[in-house]
Amino acid sequence: MQEHLDKALHICRYLISTHNYSLVHDSTSITTCTNSDWSADPETHHSQMGFYLKLVNGIFLWNSHLQKTTALSSTEAEYMALSDCAHQVIWIKQMFGEL
């Protein structure tokens, strides 16, 4: 128990000593990529989709999952993946606006 307390106090001392440090970058543009694999699941025929979001060349959000509904074509599967990714980008941009 004492070891955990010592480590917690060490972290607190570090945070106090670096309270005026910050990360600075000159770009707030979000780069994103999305894709889907049409009818990837052999039982439900749902498509696998995934996307990632990058800010200043670092990935900060990613997701991969089966789509909730069955796409009737690869184009529809791609559109569904793009729509899901766009919702995330809009949400992130709104959150950055509030910050």
pLDDT digit string, tens, across residues 44-71: 888 889 999 988 778 888 988 888 888 8
- Residue 17, domain member (yes or no): no
- Residue 47, domain member (yes or no): yes
- Residue 10, domain member (yes or no): no
Q: Determine the pLDDT at residue 2.
A: 92
Task: Name the domain count of the chain.
Answer: 1
- Residue 2, domain member (yes or no): no
Q: Determine the pLDDT at residue 40.
A: 77
Phi-psi region of 56 (alpha: psi -120 to 50; beta: other; left: phi over 0): left
pLDDT digits (tens, 9 = 90+) for 75-95: 888 888 889 899 998 998 888
Q: Determine the pLDDT at residue 93.
A: 86
Domain range spanning residue 63? 24-98
| pLDDT band at residue 17 under the 50/70/90 scheme | confident
Place of tokens 């509030």: 98
- Residue 16, domain member (yes or no): no
- Residue 9, domain member (yes or no): no
Between 32-36, 39-43, 46-50, the lowest mean confidence (pLDDT) is in 39-43
- Residue 88, domain member (yes or no): yes
d(CA 62, CA 34): 10
